Chains A and B, each alone.
Chain A
């Protein structure tokens, strides 16, 4: 799980161009949107693409997305349970 979390953080930093942030700066439990990492709705689309491209997960339910993208831990947990690659 630790390895997955580290990779996921790197993928998010890379995809969202978070140039001044390192994986260590992202708290696993901190909210990704709003006050936390400060992501916005289009960034959520990027997260959807990451899940699809790297883990073979196609999200289709918006309500589900809100729960999954709460923080790094929730995303990693979802990936570990649903990944197809």
Chain B
């Protein structure tokens, strides 16, 4: 299995993160956006390989012209820096205006005894969803990359300690599987990132923007294994302090053979992901060669 070139953790060290949070409790986010867009993003574009993968995404996947692809590559990096700043602004106690489309789907599943899944991707700013889609009846367990920076995990834990949201860190041992299983047996909500895989994780190939791309089989397998209902949750930045959450139920034939269920579910998820990315093409933050 090809190992994707993805570091898997937030850039910067603990000191930098703390300084950013401190500054965000005093400085308007617009000042940091401006600073980042003028000074940080151009440097990143020169130094990082992300400019190539972003360019490929706009030029070859969306089919934009050269000039537009170059401009979108810059915008994409600006938007990414803004959502990272927003994330830290949230840790610093800043509030955002968050609207939800499809809340009724969340409420309908929340009222049942059975567990259900949230599937998300590295688009927009999923972390913002944690506060708006919090449930009073069920605990939300967010499956996260286990080797994220300690400072980021600490900030997340501080933020989520006031809610009924917990994190399940994906590590090399089997402990996270037991936690996922326990959460499902309790009838809770489990949230999976569904667009990245590491090491020997099994993948499923799907048509994504008309080209073959690999997605981790895990989240779809877990859903099919237990016959769980699934929601796609995408959180897009639509204004300076404004986010829009899109909650969409994903349908699949629960009576079909397991393999077919997994393929159907993955197909439904990818169709929804593609729909959001056609609306917000600049908010795709998988900075590696996603398409083979």
Contact = CB atoms under 8 A, between A and B. Distances in A.
Chain B interface size range: 20 to 34
A17 B224 CA distance: 12
Contacts of B218: 41-42
Contacts of A48: 177-178, 181
B251 interface: no
Interface in A46-64: 46, 48-49, 59-62
Interface string A42-82: 11111011000000000111100110010000000000000
- Mostly, the A contact residues are helix
Contact of B177 (A15, A34, A41): A41
B19 interface: no
Interface in A1-53: 15, 17, 34, 40-46, 48-49
A46 B225 contact: yes
A62 B181 contact: no
Nearest to A34: B200
B174 A44 contact: yes
- Mostly, the B contact residues are helix
Contacts of B257: 17
Most B Cβ at <10 Å: residue of A49, A60, A61, A66: A49
A34 B199 CA distance: 11
A44 B177 contact: yes
A48 B226 CA distance: 12
A33 to B, nearest CB: 9
A45 B225 CA distance: 9
Given A17-B258, A17-B259, A62-B175, A45 B202 contact: no
19 contacts: A15-B225, A15-B258, A40-B201, A41-B174, A41-B177, A41-B218, A42-B177, A42-B201, A44-B174, A45-B180, A45-B181, A45-B222, A46-B221, A49-B226, A59-B178, A62-B173, A65-B174, A66-B173, A69-B174
9 pairs of A and B residues whose beta carbons are closest in the complex: A62-B175, A42-B218, A62-B174, A45-B177, A65-B174, A17-B259, A62-B178, A42-B221, A40-B202
Given A49-B225, A66-B173, 19 more contacts: A15-B225, A34-B200, A41-B174, A41-B201, A42-B177, A42-B217, A42-B221, A43-B202, A45-B222, A45-B225, A46-B221, A48-B178, A48-B181, A49-B226, A59-B178, A61-B178, A62-B178, A65-B177, A66-B174
